[in-house]
Amino acid sequence: MTEEESRRRQRARFEGLAHVVVEPLHRYLLRRTGADMVDDILAEAMLVLWRRIDDVPGLGPAPGSPPDPDDVLPWCYGVARGCLANARRADGRRLRLVERLIRTQEQQPAGTADHGDLHAALAALGALDREVVRLWAWEELAPRQIAEATGLTSNAVSIRLHRAKKKLAQQLGRKHDEPSGHKRDEGRSGQ
């Protein structure tokens, strides 16, 4: 049997299984979770069934007549149940993260600096310039590393970074007496 025939055979087996189990699994999930989550969990369950097609009890090795629902559904319900549990855990983690973020914002000291002007100035930059500045300032990457992360050349990153810092300085109302990065006499001999 060629690889292509094997794939066709596996696909036919999965389609036969899907034809039998999709509706019962959909109803099963609808009774256990909100309608907004059912399709995602069902898709995840079908993905697991695709990956584990050879493990489905009651599903014959050869495609042919559709499998008997009594043979395949109990195992498929177990898969859907596991996917539902995973989704609930993920949802719980998301909710805990949101609660933690809200608590963190509420607990900020009164003397915390307001960075609204900076965020507004960053928002005025183009998306790529904003990303270059963030990688430089927040992630502390060198232009060579930023180039690797963005797909730009190191030279292009240096130019973008210089121009973006200049725009930010203008928008924040600061005057630059010296170019950013180096002092005027840095690297020169005392001659």
Output the pLDDT for position 139.
85
Q: CA torsion 25→27→28→31, rounded to 10°?
A: 160
Which two structure tokens, joined as six digits, stand for 65?
Answer: 């007549």
d(CA 140, CA 143): 10
Residue 154, pLDDT above cutoff 90: yes
CA-CA-CA-CA dihedral for 22, 25, 30, 34, to nearest 10: -90
Which of 183, 184, 166 lies closest to 175, judged by CA? 166
The pLDDT value given to residue 106: 72
| pLDDT of 65 over the 90 cut | no
- pTM of the entire predicted model: 0.54
* pLDDT (tens digit per residue) in 125-137: 998 998 899 889 8
pLDDT at 173: 83
